[in-house]
Amino acid sequence: MARAKQAKSSGSGTDAIALLKADHRQVEEWFEQFEKARDGERKQELATQICNALKVHATIEEEIFYPAFLAATGETDIHHEAEVEHNGAKKLIAEIEESSPDDEYFDAKVSVLSEMIKHHVKEEEKSDGMFGEARDSDMDLDALGEQLAARKAELEGDLDDGDEPPTPRGQKEGTQPDRMARGSR
C-alpha cells in the first residue's frame, strides 16, 4: 500500500500517531511516579491524572482514530482487540475512581491498570500493530492529528470544568459498547 499521506502544510505539525504516542509517554511517566509515591494524597492526585488522561485518550481513539484506521485498513482483528482492551481498562478506571488510597486494593488496581496499558501500548506501537498498519495505509495522519488534538482539547476543557468526559458518540451514558457483538474474527 501507499505510505500514509503526510500533508506538508499541517498547522499542528503533529500527526495522529505522534500525538497518541505522546499521550502514551505521559501516562507511563505518571505510572512511574505513582510507583515511587509514598504519600496517599500524591497517589490520589496521580491516579486521578492517569484516569482522566486515559479516558480522554480512549475517547479520541474510539471516536476518531479507530474508525479511520478500520476504514483505511480493514484490519478488524487489530481494531477489535484494541476496543476490548479499552473496555477492560475503563472498568478498572471506574473502580479506581470510586476508590482512594485508604482502600487496601488501591495500589494493586493502579498497578494492574499500568500493566494493562503497557500491554495495550506495546500492541499499538509494534511494527505490525495498529500504528504501523496506519502508517502503511492511505490515512491522512496530519489531518487526523488535527482532529484528535481538537477533540482532546475539548475533552480536557470539560475535565477542567469538573465534568466527566462525554460518553463516546453512539454509546449510551453509563454503558460499555459491546464491540464483540458487531462481528467476530
* pLDDT value for 6: 39
* pLDDT value for 164: 53
pLDDT at 12 over 50: no
Share of the chain above pLDDT 90, in %: 77
For the chain, what percentages of helix, strand and coil (3-state, to nearest 5) are there?
A: 70, 0, 30
* pLDDT value for 158: 79
pTM of the model: 0.80
Give 119-160 as a DSSP string.
HHHHHHHSTTSHHHHHHTTT-BHHHHHHHHHHHHHHHHHHHH
d(CA 92, CA 11): 36
Question: Which has more confidence, 75 or 5?
Answer: 75
**CB hemisphere CA count around 58 (13 angstroms):** 25
Please work out, in degrees rounded to the nearest 5, the angle formed at the alpha carbon of residue 96 by the alpha carbons of 107 and 48. Answer: 95
Name the band, by pLDDT with cuts 50, 70 and 90, for residue 170. Answer: very low
Enumerate the domain spans of the chain.
16-159
Name the band, by pLDDT with cuts 50, 70 and 90, for residue 87. Answer: very high
Q: What are 147-167's pLDDT values in tens digits?
A: 999 999 999 987 766 555 544
Name the band, by pLDDT with cuts 50, 70 and 90, for residue 1. Answer: very low
pLDDT at 113 over 60: yes
DSSP 65: I
The whole-chain average pLDDT of the chain stands at 85
* pLDDT value for 13: 61
104 membership: H or E segment, kind and range: none
pLDDT at 14 over 90: no
